[in-house]
Structure 1
Amino acid sequence: MTRLFTVIVTAVTLLVGTGVAMADPEMNPFFNLFGGGAPSGTGPIPRTTVSFPNNYAPGTIIINTRERRLYLIQNSSQALRYGIGVGRDGFRWGGVHRISAKKEWPSWTPPSQMLRRRPDLPRHMVGGPDNPLGARAMYLGSTLYRIHGSNEPETIGQAVSSGCFRMVNDDVIDLYNRVHVGATVIVKN
Structure 2
Amino acid sequence: MTILTRRRLLTTGAAAASTLAAPALAQTANNAFTGTTEMEDRPKDGVRRNISSFRALDWRPYFDNTRNGAILVDLDSRALHYWSEDQSIYKLYPSSVPLTEDLTRRGRTRVTLKDPSPSWRPTPSMKERNPEWPDFIGPGPDNPLGTRSLHLSWTYYRIHGTHDTRKIGRRSSNGCIGLYNQHIEELYEMAKVGTQVLLI
**TM-score, normalising length: structure 2:** 0.66
Paired residue secondary structure (2:118): coil
Distance 1:183 1:109 in 2: 24
Question: 5+ unaligned residues in a row in structure 1: which ranges?
Answer: 1-41
Q: Distance in 1 between matches of 2:124 and 2:93?
A: 30
The letter for the 1-side match of 2:76 is R
Deviations 1:81-115 (A, max 9, x none): 10000001221110111101011120111111100
**Alignment partner of 1:57 is 2:66:** yes
* Aligned partner of residue 127 in structure 2, secondary structure: helix
Deviation of 1:142 after TM superposition, in Å, equals 3.9
Q: Classify the secondary structure of the residue corresponding to 2:111.
A: strand
Per the TM alignment, residue 43 of structure 1 is displaced from its structure 2 partner at its CA by 8.7
- Does the 8 Å contact 2:97/2:173 carry over to 1? yes
Does structure 2 retain, via aligned residues, the 8 Å contact 1:105–1:133? no
Matched, 1:107 2:107: no
Report what 2:199 is aligned to.
187
1:84 aligns with 2:90: no
Which runs of 5 or more structure 2 residues have no equivalent in the other structure? 1-32, 36-50
Instruction: Choose from 57, 73, 80 the match for 1:70.
Output: 80
CA contact (8 A) 2:149 2:159 kept: yes
Deviation at 1:63, TM superposition (A): 0.6
Return closer, same or farther for 1:121/1:179 CA change in 2, 3 Å cut-off.
Answer: same
Alignment correspondent of 2:7: none
Aligned residue pairs, count: 146
C-alpha distance in 1 between matches for 2:146 and 2:163 = 6
Which TM-score applies when normalising by structure 1? 0.70
Structure with higher helix content: 2
The one-character-per-residue Cα deviations of 1:23-51 (angstroms, maximum 9, x if unpaired) are xxxxxxxxxxxxxxxxxxx99669x9946
For residues 17-36 of structure 1, the aligned pairs below 5 Å read none
Matches within 5 A, 1:129-140: 129-140=141-152
SS in 2 for 1:115: helix
Percent sequence identity over aligned pairs: 31
Q: Higher Cα Rg: structure 1 or 2?
A: 2
